[in-house]
Amino acid sequence: FNPPLSSSCVQVSQYACQRRTTLQDTNRIFTDAFDILAEYFEFSENKGRKVAFLRASSLIKSLPFPITAMKEVERLPWLGDQMKAIIEEILEEGKSYKVLELMSEERYKSFKQFTSVFGVGLKTSDKWYRMGFRTLEDIKNEKELKLTKMQKCGFLYYEDITSSVSWAEAETTDQLIKSIVWKFVPDAVVTLTGGFRRGKKNGHDVDIIITCPRKGKEKNILHNTISVLKNQGLLLFSDIIESTFVETKLPSKHVDALDHFQKAFLILKLPTQQTAIGDIIDPCGCEGRKWKAVRLDLVITPYEQYSYALLGWTGSRQFERDLRRYTTHERKMMLDNHGLYDKSKKVFLKASNEEEIFEHLGLDYLEPWERNA
């Protein structure tokens, strides 16, 4: 007799960094609903409930069995009465009318559209909503409305940017950046990170992190790379952020803090694969066009911070939040994308790879594909 794995016999940690979460989510019907609710509460500026639904969704993503009965979720952390009610509704009806009802609210629908534009976040969405706009058509028709350069590009390349980036496109981008960077700095380390490093087959962008073992040699890489992209006619947009890192500063206390690395948010004009003669299927759906607009994040890090940066940019976002929460509450240390500070010993802990960071934290190592929390 082989009893099915269920929560009654599996101890589930409240921290995503103590759970192995692969892309095999056998409970997508529940996690999709919870992710939508997290987004709903983000749009209604209810941070507490947003975080609660993200935690619950993340926890369910780690379960090795499909939920089939309420008793299987009884003892799990993070699942409050409201969440259990939604699970029960989905178990009984195959869908949640509560979720469908919230999704059909005007504010949710408008924010969903507005935030899908590159350069438009909660602040701009809220402003547009207050001004009475409801759809992207409303925005496009309002010629007087001031848009940032980023938002203008967001509208200009909207179709390309909102269609997801494929693994093949991520590979092409990675190869392109490597070939450019290695011309200047042959020993530069260029790593594809973000969702693609976690094994995702699609993403909303490509994330690449760059460093060099020779101290200081990483400093000119970003500007040189962007110049080459520009000269080759491959750059549609760039927003360059210079480093604001201060050596003496302790890691940030906030789980969602941004880092201080030099970086760039780009839109590339990515050449698409040459189609063979007689090929009628266009792999990117760009109908005869020889390129696709692809979002790329480039991050430059000093060599001694590289492992921390890689861990931070590999994600998932929820994995990172829990890793920091765990570090603060269970280890009395502070972690960010630059380093790890031990508060009792009053020292920064060095790490030359991700395994060493997990070791410092007393955590079992999780491979990137097990961090899809």
CA proximity to 372, closest of 6, 72, 59, 83: 59
Are 342 and 252 in contact, with CB atoms under 8 Å apart?
no
The site for ligand ATP, by CB under 6 A, has a size of 16
Please tell me the distance from the alpha carbon of residue 22 to that of residue 311, in angstroms, as a whole number: 16
The catalytic position among 160, 205, 259, 322 is 205
* Residue in 39, 320, 322, 370 binding ligand ATP, rule: CB under 6 A: 320
126 binds Mn ion (CB under 5 A): no
- CB of 194 or CB of 302, closer to Mn ion: 194
Does the annotation count 207 as an active-site position?
yes
What residue is closest to Mn ion based on CB? 194
* Residue in 154, 194, 251, 339 binding ligand ATP, rule: CB under 6 A: 194
CB of 102 vs Mn ion, minimal distance in Å: 27
CB of 203 vs ligand ATP, minimal distance in Å: 3
Does the annotation count 336 as an active-site position?
no
Which of ligand ATP, Mn ion, none is residue 98 near (CB under 5 to 8 Å by kind)?
none
Site string for ligand ATP, 253-272 (x = CB under 6 A): -----xx-------------
Taking CB under 6 A as the binding criterion, the range among 78-86, 194-202, 268-276, 338-346 that sits at the site for ligand ATP is 194-202
* Residue in 25, 169, 207, 370 binding ligand ATP, rule: CB under 6 A: 207
Taking CB under 5 A as the binding criterion, the range among 104-112, 120-128, 296-304, 318-326 that sits at the site for Mn ion is 296-304
Please tell me the distance from the alpha carbon of residue 79 to that of residue 98, in angstroms, as a whole number: 17
State the sign of the Cα–Cα–Cα–Cα dihedral 164, 169, 170, 174: negative
Are 100 and 40 in contact, with CB atoms under 8 Å apart?
no
Residue 309 region, left (φ>0) first, then alpha (ψ -120 to 50), else beta?
alpha
Which token pair is 294? 């692809």
126 burial (CB, 10 Å; 0-12 / 13-18 / 19+) is: middle
The site for Mn ion, by CB under 5 A, has a size of 6
Long-range contacts of 349-356 (CB under 8 A, 24+ apart): 350/304, 351/307, 351/308, 352/307, 353/307, 354/307, 354/310, 354/311, 356/307
The catalytic position among 160, 207, 259, 322 is 207
Q: Which 194-223 positions form the footprint of Mn ion (CB under 5 A)?
A: 194-195, 203, 205, 207
Does the annotation count 187 as an active-site position?
no
Helix 122-130 vs helix 28-43: angle between axes, to the nearest 10 degrees? 60
| Binding positions for Mn ion, rule: CB under 5 A | 194-195, 203, 205, 207, 297
Active site residues: 205, 207, 297
What is the binding site for ligand ATP (CB under 6 A)?
194-195, 200, 203-205, 207, 258-259, 312-313, 315-317, 320, 337
